[in-house]
């Protein structure tokens, strides 16, 4: 992308875990004169204005339900780039998955892309997920997962795993729309994001670590490839917006490995917490890969060590009262 000191960009889901870190990363770069922060109506965004000394003058808040196409267009108008981060992700199983997860993810994404087309946005960076890549029963054995993998929808529906269904349908629909309408779009597929919470609420990926430290026996079988520091995910978004020759999907994880390996590392860092000892293969057949995010590494992204991400996340969970400190 051409560089200037006056870029105006829109971030949807700006007050969520990834969104807040993305806003902070953009504020730290003087290139971005203004950020249109799109948040769900009546949700708390007060923390965004504390991220940088000049945050109040550079953030313009838009209360937007992504299912409201006109409201989406108002937030996108005047922007050279859009980071579409917003997508529902609940800690509890939804009562009505179609209404609560699938429709907002799929139609909301199409509304953002339509607004981007109307407003002549230069590039859209779509926040997808590894949940649009796995589980995939048809993936060849003895091969490490890469960006060509897509989630097996029938498998997820049969097991009522609706979050991967929503993310997969949203990303597939986005590619279809972007290709038909000539929109410059790239997708980023982050693994489990960890790090300090900037927002005031507990998000789903941070809850994975919280629950693990509290003794959860959930193997994360359907939702795991690896973990990544949320600040690296934010940096990757900006890198994908600014790099001229990027296209397609970008897996964003600091390696691929079993959840049992992750749990063992967490247990060694925090031996006083009741971390469950899992069998070695929590993800049957998963092939480990240190440089799974090779496409992003080749663009210059340097990943934060996993141990640092875990420590910073735990410190944040404890300080915010989401995790009881073990002395």
Q: Which residue has the tokens 């890469």?
A: 146
The pair of structure tokens assigned to 281 is: 């293969």
What is the C-alpha separation between 143 and 288, in angstroms, rounded? 9
Cα distance between residue 300 and residue 113, in whole Å: 27
Q: Give the dihedral sign, CA 169/235/125/254.
A: negative
Of 167, 231, 235, 295, the active-site residue reads 167
Written as six digits, the tokens of 147 are 């960006």
Tell whether the torsion through CA atoms of 173, 176, 179 and 180 is positive or negative.
Answer: negative
Q: Which helix (H) or strand (E) segment is 177 a member of?
A: helix 162-181
Residues 6+ apart with CB under 8 A from 238: 22, 25, 26, 29
- Catalytic, 235? Answer no
DSSP state of 33: E
What tokens does 83 get? 């980071």
Q: Which of 308, 303, 192 is nearest to 239 (CA)?
A: 303
| Other Cβ atoms closer than 10 A to 192 | 23
Q: Is the dihedral of CA 106, 107, 110, 112 positive or negative?
A: negative
State the maximum Cα–Cα separation within the chain, in Å, rounded to a whole number. Answer: 58
Active site residues: 167
């Amino acid at each position: 992308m051409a560089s200037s000191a006056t870029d105006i960009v829109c971030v949807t889901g700006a007050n969520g875990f990834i969104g807040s870190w993305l806003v902070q990363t953009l504020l730290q770069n003087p290139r971005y004169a203004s950020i249109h922060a799109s948040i769900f109506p009546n949700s708390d965004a007060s923390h965004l204005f504390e991220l940088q000394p000049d945050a109040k003058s550079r953030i313009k808040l838009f209360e937007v339900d992504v299912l409201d196409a006109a409201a989406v267009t108002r937030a996108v108008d005047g922007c050279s780039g859009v980071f579409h981060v917003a997508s529902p992700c609940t800690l509890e199983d939804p009562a009505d998955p179609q209404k609560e997860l699938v429709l907002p993810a799929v139609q909301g994404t199409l509304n953002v892309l339509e607004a981007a087309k109307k407003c002549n946005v230069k590039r859209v960076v779509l926040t997808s997920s590894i949940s649009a890549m796995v589980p995939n029963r048809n993936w060849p054995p003895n091969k490490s997962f890469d960006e060509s993998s897509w989630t097996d929808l029938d498998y997820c529906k049969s097991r009522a795993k609706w979050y991967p269904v929503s993310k997969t349908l949203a990303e597939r629909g986005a590619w279809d729309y972007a290709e038909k309408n000539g929109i410059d779009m790239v997708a980023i597929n982050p693994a489990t994001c960890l790090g300090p919470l900037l927002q005031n609420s507990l998000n789903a990926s941070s809850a994975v670590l919280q629950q693990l430290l509290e003794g959860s026996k959930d193997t994360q079988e359907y939702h795991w490839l690896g973990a990544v520091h949320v600040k690296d995910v934010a940096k990757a978004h900006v890198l994908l917006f600014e790099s001229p020759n990027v296209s397609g999907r970008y897996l964003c994880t600091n390696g691929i490995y079993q959840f049992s390996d992750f749990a063992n590392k967490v247990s060694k860092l925090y031996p006083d917490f009741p971390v469950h000892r899992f069998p070695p293969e929590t993800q049957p057949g998963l092939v480990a890969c240190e440089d799974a995010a090779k496409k992003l590494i080749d663009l210059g992204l340097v990943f934060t060590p996993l141990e640092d991400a875990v420590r910073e996340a735990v410190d944040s969970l404890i300080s915010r009262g989401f995790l009881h400190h073990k002395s």
